[in-house]
Amino acid sequence: MLQFVLALAISQNPEIKVDPAETHGKTPEQIVAMGYNKWYEFYIEKEQNESTMAINFANMLYGNSLYIVNTKRLKVVEPKRRQMIADIRESLVQFRGSCIEIGFTRSGGGTLWSIIHSATRSESETLVADLIAGNLKGERATQAKVWAKLNEVALKIEREKDDLEEGRQYSNRGYAEAMKYHAEAVTYWTNALPKIAKFPKVAERERIMNFYLEGAKIAWQADM
């Protein structure tokens, strides 16, 4: 389930589409205009259930709709800034995905993680929308805080090595997988830094870095 949701939620296909048959007739623009909460209520009511799968699809359809709307909005953004946003866009999703995989592995799995995964695109595109609009409000973080949290995650994985291997029988994952995903997260973060540095305003850079910090917290908080 987790891999299925991840594949749908963080697809890098630039031709992401939303099928009106799946959205009960709503277009991406209508879905985004509703806002997440109203869209969620609408979708769950139409589906007549609030199963994990329904929640996942509500999240993914909203995220994909926001992606489509943001892509259209980007076309009228000044070229240099448009490229800066485009350069960081997929990194947000990739980093968050690796951090969620760490949390999934450390916690032994569970359906909750598919819901967290399915919201990845929605959360990353919310930041993209703010960057397009020049909205500087929101929590901020520094590079040092992100590195510190990633280091704390690595230490936790090391301390949990025996427990992770014992839990392999339930999730088919263990210490090696947790370290692999941590290495991926560090790589995505390292590669993102020069891209983030291109944003001229400190507030923008710190807004973006806070997204990475929140991802690292997901990996850190998933205590076994």
Sequence-distant (≥ 6) Cβ neighbours of residue 183 within 8 angstroms: none
Backbone angles phi, psi at 7, to 5 degrees: -60, -40
pLDDT less than 70: residues of the chain: 1-14, 223-224
Q: What is the C-alpha separation between 200 and 205, in angstroms, rounded?
A: 8
How does pLDDT run across 87-139, given as a tens digit for each residue? 999 999 999 999 999 999 999 888 899 999 999 999 999 999 999 999 989 99
SS (H, E, C) 179-218: HHHHHHHHHHHHHHHHHHCCCCCHHHHHHHHHHHHHHHHH
Q: List the alpha helices (DSSP H) in 109-142.
A: 112-118, 120-133
pLDDT at residue number 14:
55
Q: What is the C-alpha separation between 195 and 93, in angstroms, rounded?
A: 15
**Token pair of 44, please?**
């769950």
pLDDT at residue number 108:
86
Quickly count helices (H) and strands (E) in the chain.
12, 0
Give the angle 185-141-68 at the CA atoms, nearest 5°.
65
Length of the chain: 224
pLDDT at residue number 169:
81
pLDDT at residue number 151:
98
